[in-house]
Structure 1
Amino acid sequence: MTQYWPDHLFLVGCGNMAGQMLSRWLDQGLDSARVTVLRPSGKPVADGVTVVTDYPAALPVGATVLLGMKPYQIADVAAALAPLCTAETRIISILAGAPLADLRTRFPAARDIVRAMPNLPVGLGEGVIALFTDGVTSDKAKADIDALIQPLGLAEWIADEALFNQVTALSGCGPAFLFRFIDTLARAGEALGIPADQAARMALATVQGSANMAARAAVSPAMLADQVASPGGMTREGLNVLDADDRLLTLLTDTLTAARDRGEAMARGG
């Protein structure tokens, strides 16, 4: 796929996630002179990137807007930004709990609007980005945004927006859950007597190497687990604990359900 860069990228907010996305794009060749970041603090973002503390009188022609502020700020942002948008303005929203219909109501002039839910590894080009739009968005805009997203990692277009909160719970929230798992694996090793610093290094390297192996394997992670676990061996005994009464599946299902439910509550304004 040919790389696509917008004529101008206007970021509303540049927090952790939007910052990771921008950093990756700049590393991959996006001209910093094409980027403007609206940041009330005025804090610099990267060399050559223009930072403004208030909205400009007009958006540059051919601007793509990335909504990267906190979701609760959407009303105030839309009140100031919507009058600047035209039919040529493209909007990418990474706001959790902000349905496409709501975005279309708030930005009526913009034809091309795409919801995106990235996760933090986008900064390494190893993220997962769920994407959704509707039939109003042009095929050209969809293709361009797809090409813009590709350097960030795995881009998955979701056919049904009703699944967006579920997908967000899995891939958007998933890194935090995995970070917690790595920490807990290390603490469990420490509980067995391994020095804390060694347990932390070993847990991180174990997860990193195993994830890389799973990504390259010709079989599923479930099959890999069974291949590692010899009958009657240490690994099998540990897996028996995780597998008993589907306890690990139940725990993770409960975890994703709680995250999904929160996304739905946010969409209702809760």
Structure 2
Amino acid sequence: MTLRGPQQTTVLLGTLTGAVWLLGCGNMGGAMLRRWLAAGLRPDQVTVITRTERALPDGVRWSPELPRDAAPDVLLLAVKPQQLDAVTPAVQAVRPKLLLSILAGVEEAALRRRFHADAIIRAMPNLPVAIGKGVTALFGSDVDGEARRTAEALCAPLGHHEWIADEALFDAVTALAGSGPGFLFRFIDALGAAGAALGLPEDQARRLALATVEGSAIMAASSDDSPAALADKVASPGGSTREGLNVLDRDGVLVRLLTETLRASERRNREMAAAAR
């Protein structure tokens, strides 16, 4: 798949030789870790810090608390945003070269007030990073070339990544790309349910909806045409696709619905940011 946009920087994870700590290892943190290991990060470089022990890839160290005898090159902050203040005292005791935070809604200034690190970068990955097809937005207001290269090396195995120039837009990016898979999964489900409403067996309608979305996304990502232009190519004048598009296009109903959806998600991100200040 070829994504249009900023050129991806290829940096081999195998060139990272320092320690990598993960504070929290839920669905997202675990998915990122598995992709990093597959891309060449050595398991003996990694320590996962969680309150309770869990199954981890072979060779990865687990600890119930942050090690006190050293500082990592990279500390991934992957707890829930609501746990930020609970983990702050422990994290303040170490100074990583790079603090990479995937906490939704927690601004860079809030991180800098709490933690000591040579560089702090916010990252917002989405769920498809688990298969190397995710999107990760990055922001750091004052990071040097080494920190940027390290962040890009960690994001490259996850899929597409882009730097965001203005942190004020990070909540919107989180709503679009971070939450976007959830909205698309709901759309796939609704498309299948609509097919079933027309009389198709539910399981068949679900398979057809999923395959249709998969093929269409791959085609859109690899095409020089915009998605809007591709939609018009499918829709012959007076044909059945055009009749369906007329429903979606009437009074901008689809754009208005999705704008309302993203605004609700963005608003919640702003609420979490306010709580973390």
User: TM-score with structure 1 length normalisation?
Assistant: 0.95
> Are the counterparts in 1 of residues 11 and 156 from structure 2 also a CA contact under 8 Å?
no
Paired position in structure 1 for 2:241 = 235
| 4+ residue segments displaced more than 2 Å | none
CA distance in 2, matches of 1:17, 1:126: 13
Which of 113, 123, 127 pairs up with 2:120?
113
Which blocks of at least 5 consecutive residues in structure 1 are unaligned? none
Displacement after TM superposition at 1:84 (Å): 1.6
Q: Identify the range of structure 1 (173-182 vs 5-14) with the bigger mean alpha-carbon deviation.
A: 5-14
Paired position in structure 1 for 2:3 = none
What SS is found at the alignment partner of 2:92? Answer: helix
> Are the counterparts in 2 of residues 58 and 84 from structure 1 also a CA contact under 8 Å?
no
Is residue 55 of structure 1 aligned with residue 62 of structure 2? no
Paired position in structure 1 for 2:37 = 26
Paired position in structure 2 for 1:93 = 101
Instruction: Indicate the structure whose relative CO is greater, using CA pairs within 8 Å and at least 6 residues apart.
Output: 2
Q: What's the RMSD between the two structures over aligned residues?
A: 1.2
Displacement after TM superposition at 1:6 (Å): 4.9
CA distance in 2, matches of 1:6, 1:132: 23
CA distance in 1, matches of 2:134, 2:118: 27
Q: Identify the range of structure 1 (144-153 vs 165-174) with the bigger mean alpha-carbon deviation.
A: 144-153
Deviation sequence 1:130-151 (CA, Å, 0-9, x none): 000012x222111221122111
Which of 67, 75, 97 pairs up with 2:85?
75
Which amino acid letter does the alignment assign opposite residue 2 of structure 1?
Answer: V
User: TM-score with structure 2 length normalisation?
Assistant: 0.93
Deviation sequence 1:141-188 (CA, Å, 0-9, x none): 112211221111111100000000000000000000000000010001
Which blocks of at least 5 consecutive residues in structure 2 are unaligned? 1-9
Paired position in structure 1 for 2:112 = 104
Is residue 3 of structure 1 aligned with residue 12 of structure 2? yes
Which of 228, 248, 256 pairs up with 2:254?
248
Q: Identify the range of structure 1 (185-194 vs 50-59) with the bigger mean alpha-carbon deviation.
A: 50-59
Is residue 152 of structure 1 aligned with residue 158 of structure 2? yes
CA distance in 2, matches of 1:252, 1:110: 38
Which amino acid letter does the alignment assign opposite residue 267 of structure 1?
Answer: A
Paired position in structure 2 for 1:14 = 25
Which amino acid letter does the alignment assign opposite residue 100 of structure 1?
Answer: E
> Are the counterparts in 1 of residues 11 and 149 from structure 2 also a CA contact under 8 Å?
no
CA distance in 1, matches of 2:136, 2:179: 12
Structure-2 change in CA distance of 1:82 and 1:8 (3 Å) = same
> Are the counterparts in 2 of residues 187 and 200 from structure 1 also a CA contact under 8 Å?
yes
> Are the counterparts in 2 of residues 131 and 157 from structure 1 also a CA contact under 8 Å?
yes
Displacement after TM superposition at 1:23 (Å): 1.0
> Are the counterparts in 1 of residues 172 and 262 from structure 2 also a CA contact under 8 Å?
yes
Deviation sequence 1:198-253 (CA, Å, 0-9, x none): 00110000000000011111100000000000000010000000000000000000
Deviation sequence 1:104-134 (CA, Å, 0-9, x none): 1101x31201000000111111110000001
> Are the counterparts in 1 of residues 175 and 262 from structure 2 also a CA contact under 8 Å?
yes
Q: Counterparts in 2 of 1:115-264, with a 5 A limit?
A: 115-135=122-142, 137-264=143-270
> Are the counterparts in 2 of residues 6 and 64 from structure 1 also a CA contact under 8 Å?
no
